[in-house]
Amino acid sequence: EEKELSKWLNKNETELKIVYGLPDEVKFLSSNNRNYIYIRKKFNIKCVRKFEIDSKNQIVGFSSKNCF
C-alpha cells in the first residue's frame, strides 16, 4: 500500500481524481493545504486514504489506514 501510494507524490490533483474519483471528504489544513479523503469498505473493514494537496494542486503527502 505504502509503495503504491508513494507513486502519487508530486503528481497533480487532477490525475488523482481521474483514478480515485471525487473524494468522500475534503479537509482544509492550517497550512493552506487540503486533505482529500477516500473511504472504502472491504470485508466490513473501513479503509481510509488521505492525500495532502498543496496550493499548486500537487500531492505532497499521503496516509492510509486499514487498506490492503
In tens digits, the chain (68 residues) has pLDDT values of 899 999 999 999 999 999 999 999 999 999 999 999 999 998 899 999 999 999 999 999 999 999 98
> Cα separation of 26 and 35, whole Å?
6
Q: Nearest to residue 27, comparing CAs of 19, 39, 9?
A: 39
Q: What letter does residue 8 receive in the DSSP assignment?
A: T
Look-up: residue for cell 483514478?
19
Residue 11: its H or E element: none
Q: Dig out the grid coordinates for 36 from the structure.
A: 482529500
